[in-house]
Each structure stands twice: as C-alpha cells, then as structure tokens.
Amino acid sequence: MESRNPATNEQIGTYEKDTDEDVEAALSRSMDAFEEWRERPIREREELLANAAGVLRENKRRYAELMTKEMGKPISQAIGEVEKCAWACDHYAEYASAYLGGEHHPSPPGTEVATVHDPLGPVLAVMPWNFPFWQVIRFAAPYLTAGNVGLLKHASNVPGCALALEEVFREAGYPDGVFQTLLIGSGKVDDVLSDDRVRAATLTGSGPAGRAVAETAGKHLKKTVLELGGSDPFIVLDDADLDAAVETGVQARTQNGGQSCIAAKRFIVHEAVYDEYVERLVEAFEALTIGDPMDEATDIGPQADPELMAELHDQVQQSVDAGATVLTGGEPLDHEGAYYPPTVLTDVPAGCPADNEETFGPVAAVYKVADEAQAIEKANDTRFGLGASLWTEDRKRGQRLARDIEAGCIYINEMVKSDPRVPFGGIKDAGYGRELSEAGIKEFVNRKTVWTQ
C-alpha cells in the first residue's frame, strides 16, 4: 500500500498491508478490549476522549501536513479539519453521559421502567479519503464513548492518516485494542464484516461500496449506518442576499477541491436574479487561487488522484457534448499534479452526468427556474437526498419550502455542513442512519428496556 502526493505525484510512503493473521489478531484484541472497555464508567471514557482532543490540538500542524501530502487538501483547510475533530471530541466528552442517560417510561404503580443504552461490541468503520481525519473522528468519538470498540478500514490512499488516528487514541491513553487500524484492501471488508465478532458497521463512500456492505450486514443481521454521497442543490430565490449567496456558494462548491459529499453541486437560481448571480459566481470562481496546497494562500489544491480527476473531466466533457455550456474552467490545468479548475456549467441538459451523477470536484451545474415550485421540483430531481441549501431573505418562506425538499438536512441561508451538535445523514441513495449529536451516539447501542416490578 503506497501513499502519493497528488500535487507532485511523488511517492511519500509505503506501508505493508495487514495479513490474514494480522486481521485475526486485531479481531481477537478487539473482543478482549471490549470486555474491559464496556465496564469502564462513562465518565472515564469521556475523560479519555477529552485527552484525544488535546492530542489532536497538540499535533494539528503535523496531522494537517500529513493530510495535505496524502490527498491534496489545502493546508489551511487541513488545519481546520483537525480543529473540528478536537471540537467533536470536546462535545462528546461533555455530553455523552447526558445523551446516554436512562430514559424512564410510564408504568403501573410500584414499578419502574427505563431504557438503558448498552454498547454492541466491535464496530467496523469503512472510511473515505476526502476528510481523512473528520470522517473517522465523527464515528469514533461517539461510538467509543458509548462503550463500543472500533476497527478502521481507511481509504487505501491515506494509510499515513489511518495510522496517525490510531496514534491519537493511543497517546490519549485508550487501552490496547479499543481503536485499531486495519491496513487492508476493499476486497477484505466482506470477510471482516462477516466475522461474528464484528457487531455493526458504518461506511461513508460510494453507492456500490455501501450496497456491498449493506448486503453483507443484512445477511448477518448487523446494524449499519451508510453515508453514500449526494448531489446537493443550492437554491437561490428571487429575494436572496446575493452577496452572501455568492460568497457561500463558492465555498460550498470548492472547499476541499469540491471533493465533498455535501458540497453544493447543482445551483438552482430564480430567473429574476439568474444573470447577476451567474456573472458573480463565475467572477468569484476565477478569483480563487490554485496552487501548492502547502501554501496558506491556496484556495484550490490538486484533486486527490489523477484517475479521479480524469473521471471528473469525463463527466464534464460528456455534459458539454450533450449541450452544456462552459462559462469558466472545463479543462485540466497544464500543471504538475492533478489540478482541475473551478468550473461553471450552464444550459445543463437533463440526464447528462453533471445533472444526474455526483460530480466529485469543483464543478457547478447552474439551472434557471421561473418560481419556487420549479426550484423545489429541480432540487428533488435526483436519486440522492443528503443535504440542501436554500437562500431567501424571508425566513418563514425558507422554513416552509424546506419541508418540501427531499434531503436529510436543509440549511437556510447557510452552507450544508456537519456539526457535532446536530444529526447528520441522508435519505434515498444518499444512505440511511444518522451520525453526530444524540441521534448519532445511539445508532450503535442496545436500547434495552428494563422493567423492575
């Protein structure tokens, strides 16, 4: 397993994959660790999680540079990602006890009935490369603190990040086996998930990967949480604050090089403001700084992999061949590394890749609509349902329309984001289940009813 810098194509590390014997030993350790870990008072588990937040903050520059080298994220955004991970640890260190407290229910006189929350056991996490620290911490912080133990199968292009995350928990004082990284390929996931010692799984990734995990988990009756991507609408109505909608729209589409499940991908703009909005969006895209991701001034670094960039460009080219118009960008840059420019497409035909597929890069498809009814119809014209952003100066109008949008989270006058304080997840082909907040920590627990007569 090797790690390459997508900005230079330089090999920066090689790692030995875990053998079948290594995986067996890890599974055995996870069960041994679980038997002890589940008995730890939750206050002690919260204290260790607070320690993990400290480890993240103490090493944030080193971890950020590792992310940037392995998958090309601009360094300022990588530092922000580590800080966000520490915040999530802080959140569950403070609130896990409250989230998992017993729930009391009405019962006959003289009886007591409560729901208690017991951990399930080893949880397999199959995680992507685009937010290599955040995706893992948002699984580990709640599920470990609930008393489960974790087995991480990270993306194969970020093995250094995977091992660094193991280091975070080790340095924080977690017992051996509570959090382990498995350096295995995707072909080994089915075997690990099928093992009786693994009790549940969470995956963030592609639809085919999610379906494969769901199929195996279903065969063995194991709980899963899946986050499978999106084609999020960014709806700009006629009464929107255009200054804010342009500024946030650019960030929502191009952050992390556009490689985000919850990125704004389809810009749906009311005809009354369409021309002005598109002109300003193009100007803002062209003003972004593309370059060395290690430079603090860089807005757009390389795509994480040359092959992924080629797939993105193929989607753009097919869309142009179908009739879409390129207003800016649209061709890989003549630059060492996998650089693709921020791109704006208009006149996007129904059914072309930019319209009905997830474009995982800085490509915005823009649509003109006549009214709010058309805007909602277009927003829902997708097999995905992860998030949506809606822009209007009338908050009540926004809240009313939010009820009609088919997505797991709607942000009015804000970009879609994950936040440890609120549930996160999608519907339709974007997956199922929720991460973060109280809802997230309760996904992988046994909600056990205890009736005392």
Residue of 129, 384, 415, 84 lying closest to 255 (CA atoms) = 415
Q: Which residue is associated with the tokens 């060395």?
A: 292
d(CA 58, CA 340): 33
d(CA 61, CA 164): 13
How does DSSP assign 171-210, residue by residue? HHTPPTTSEEE----GGGHHHHHHSTT--EEEEES-HHHH
Rounded-to-5 percentages of helix, strand, coil across the chain = 45, 20, 35
d(CA 337, CA 383): 33
| CA 138 to mean position of chain CA atoms | 9
- Of all helices (H) and strands (E), which one includes residue 274? helix 274-286
Interacting residues of 433 by C-beta distance below 8 A, sequence separation 6+: 202, 224, 225, 226, 227, 425, 443
Q: Which residue is associated with the tokens 């260190």?
A: 93
Cβ proximity of 234 and 252 under 8 Å: yes
Our answer to whether residue 286 is catalytic in this structure is no
Cβ-based neighbour number of residue 418 at 10 Å: 22
Give the bridge partners for 247, in sequence order.
none
List 261, 357, 409, 443, catalytic entry = 261
Cβ proximity of 284 and 254 under 8 Å: no
Q: 371-387 as b/e, with b when 16 or more CB fall inside 10 Å?
A: ebeebbebbebbebbbb
For residue 174, give both structure tokens: 């977690």
For residue 15, give both structure tokens: 């790692």
For residue 115, give both structure tokens: 């729901």
Residue of 193, 119, 91 lying closest to 151 (CA atoms) = 193
Our answer to whether residue 81 is catalytic in this structure is no
List 46, 81, 166, 227, catalytic entry = 227
Interacting residues of 32 by C-beta distance below 8 A, sequence separation 6+: 177
Residues designated as active site: 227, 261
